[in-house]
Amino acid sequence: MAEDERNLNDRQSGATKLAGVNLRLAYGPHSVVEGLDIALPARRFTALIGPNGSGKSTILRSLAGLMRPAGGTVLLDGRGIATLSTRALARQIGVLLQGPVAPEGLTVGDLVAQGRYPHRGLLSGWSAQDQAACDEALRLTGTGHLADRALDSLSGGQRQRAWIAMTLAQRSEVILLDEPTTYLDLEHQIELMNLIRTLVRDHGKTVVAVLHDINQAARYADHIVLLKAGRRVASGPPAQVISARAIEEVFQVRSMIIEDPVAGTPLCIPLAHESERDRRPSQRET
Amino acid sequence: MSVPMSGKPAPGGRPRAGLMLGLLGALLAASCLLSLCLGPRGIGLGTVFDALLRFDGSREHLLVVTLRLPRMLAAVLAGSALAVSGAIMQAVTGNPLASPGLLGINAGAAFAVVAVMTLTGGASGVPFLWAAFAGAGAAAVTVYLLGAVFSSVHAALGLVLSGAAIATFLTSLTSAVLIFDQSTLDAVRLWTAGSVSGRTLAEAVGTAPYIGLGLSLAFLLGRHLTVLSFGADAARALGQSPVFWRGAAILIVILLAGSAVALAGPIGFVGLIVPHIVRMLIGVDYRWILPFCAVGGALLVVAADCLGRSLLANQGFPVGVTIALIGAPFFIWLAHNRLRSTA
């Protein structure tokens, strides 16, 4: 039975692409994450979910190799990422953090071209492959018509798509996104979710995103990791992870879980907030 | 469909930027020639060319080759070095106010030169090139560390506050040293204001390799500066080692600003305003910004020197003062119009 479960797991979630083993993540003496094991399946869309201060962004940074774990290791295809050079890592893992800034006046086309940085040698020129990667990234994100526009003249949503295009131009197998839907209106949120789906299904990418909206995650992600105070509370396919008990444990919100009438995925409907008792610990986290 | 973008410059953009750079270069060449002709004793263009190409030892030829040529070369070298180092600093710090003047690097180099000069006796900064590098480097490190402390108070202003504090402190120290040492004061009075008069050909030529090396390295750095300007995390995410490239950028700045100060004193504003003017002209591609700054900075200093000499009919008038007269109003305009959006 255990073997059946593993087979099922493999078929549903793919083999592990990126993993954190016994991770301890700390800013100075202050530990944010302790003893975390996390496995992200290959060629799947994984959503990291949790309240503010649950360590989602910190975990994403460590998975991207931007933050050195105080303990434990991050494995990419079973190999420690600490052994890879910054450049080699950037060819395999692309990451878009929150609130990226670019020099004033930089055009979308110029920004996307920077995504080719890890693929270019010190003196080598711009190759046809570089151009193809940028064209594809602009096409996939629908930003081709903005290529000559300055980034700071665009709306928040357009700007976010341009940054995603830059990350796509990197052509890494793994793409990590920290709250990519934050500045997007509903239409562009759905567009982005569909884009992630396309990247996973048609381009074989492994996408990991920190998301705020539980229902969006439940609807679009193949795999959900539920986090609380740097701890993994649950992980697996949405139908397994999203339960009233898990939501209450993580968010201190009572809810009802019904089946999404359109997608058939779990849909979380919050009920009342249990205020005083549970507020205190969540304030301490932040 | 192929969209133009500047990993490789836009097909329409390259010739235009190239043409503008050529134009600016021609303007620089014209100012250089004017600088050679200009003086209490006006010398014709033909004589200037003769002096450069068929030197015959006549009084006019001597004037051109021993006085005016070194002065013009010093202006070109210092101007390009300061402007390029300012552009690099603005990219690396992401701070539009960053420049070797405002961040104390010029003041550090100047103080080190004056201090060593007082101890050993000397008449210009050039023999003390390594003191200038050391002073520039020490100031850069101090400002950077102090800026990290201040940035907990205000992120954007931290570095500028720290730079202003260090620059003011070092400039006062320099004045203090000069008050107590009359002979050094007489020798460097003009130099501390930023001056290209009285340089010898040997001094200009002796500094040239360092500035040439600094400029070449800066041009190699160009493509990496855009990614560097995204900040440490985003740069690392793109595969750039921020420690290495930041370190390289700072060393290049020290090499350029240190050489410029040793040669021509702490000329202010060039490193601040030239990069801004260049960005207004051609945009944000650092592979173009740096060569434009090199030519533009040289043009500004040579032209300002010509202007100061002809308007005031005083050959010793320090170019640093003329540039401050042009630079300060521009700086105020800049702070009023352009920094509001970025600060």
B226 contacts in chain A (CB < 8 Å):
103, 106, 110, 114
Domains of chain B, CATH where assigned: 14-338 (1.10.3470.10)
For A220, residues 6+ apart whose C-beta sits below 8 A from its C-beta are A45, A47, A193, A196, A197
Q: What is the dihedral of CA A201, A206, A209, A215, to 10 degrees?
A: 40
pLDDT at A113 > cutoff 90: yes
Q: What are phi and psi of B270, to 5 degrees?
A: -60, -50
Q: Is A151 on the interface with B (CB under 8 A)?
A: no
Among the partner residues A101, A105, A117, nearest to B239 by beta-carbon distance = A117
pLDDT at B100 > cutoff 70: yes
Do the Cβ atoms of B4 and A106 come within 8 Å? Answer: no
Do the Cβ atoms of B231 and A87 come within 8 Å? Answer: no
- pLDDT score, position B125: 56
Among the partner residues A114, A117, A131, nearest to B2 by beta-carbon distance = A131
Show the DSSP H helices in chain B as ranges.
13-37, 45-53, 59-62, 69-93, 105-120, 129-150, 155-180, 182-188, 201-228, 232-237, 242-264, 270-282, 286-312, 319-337, 339-342
B281 contacts in chain A (CB < 8 Å):
none
Mind telling me how many Å the CA of B156 is from chain A's nearest CA?
A: 13
**Residue range B209-252, pLDDT digits in tens:** 999 999 999 999 988 888 888 888 899 999 998 889 989 999 99
Do the Cβ atoms of A61 and B233 come within 8 Å? Answer: yes
For A23, residues 6+ apart whose C-beta sits below 8 A from its C-beta are A33, A35, A36, A37, A38, A59, A62, A69, A71, A72, A73, A74
For A106, nearest residue in chain B (alpha carbons): B284
Q: Is A99 on the interface with B (CB under 8 A)?
A: no
Measured CA angle at A257 (ends A254, A261), to 5 deg: 145
| DSSP reduced 3-state for A41 | strand
- pLDDT score, position B11: 38
DSSP conformation class of B99:
-
* Residue A86 pLDDT grade (very low, low, confident, very high; cuts 50, 70, 90): very high
Q: Is B334 on the interface with A (CB under 8 A)?
A: no
**Residue range A199-240, pLDDT digits in tens:** 999 999 999 999 989 999 999 999 999 999 999 999 999 999
pLDDT at A11 > cutoff 90: no
Q: Is A208 on the interface with B (CB under 8 A)?
A: no
Judge contact between A38 and A212, C-beta under 8 A.
Answer: no
Percent of chain B with pLDDT over 90: 44
**If you average pLDDT over residues A62-91, what whole number do you get?**
93
**Residue range A139-152, pLDDT digits in tens:** 999 999 999 999 98
- pLDDT score, position B17: 86
Q: How far is CA A210 from CA A226, A236, A247, B326, in A?
A: 10, 15, 16, 51
**Max Cα distance, chain B (Å):** 71
Q: For testing the chain B interface, which of A68, A89, A114, A127 should be mutated: the one with the most B CBs within 10 Å?
A: A114
**If you average pLDDT over residues A190-207, what whole number do you get?**
93
**Residue range B111-167, pLDDT digits in tens:** 998 888 888 766 555 678 888 999 999 999 999 888 877 777 666 678 888 899 999
Mean pLDDT over each residue of chain A, to the nearest integer: 87
* Residue B339 pLDDT grade (very low, low, confident, very high; cuts 50, 70, 90): low
Q: How far is CA B258 from CA B128, B156, B210, in A?
A: 10, 25, 9
- pLDDT score, position B26: 97
Domains of chain A, CATH where assigned: 13-270 (3.40.50.300)
> What does the DSSP assignment read for B47-59?
HHHHHHHS----H
- pLDDT score, position B3: 38
A91 contacts in chain B (CB < 8 Å):
239
* Residue A99 pLDDT grade (very low, low, confident, very high; cuts 50, 70, 90): confident
pLDDT at B38 > cutoff 90: no
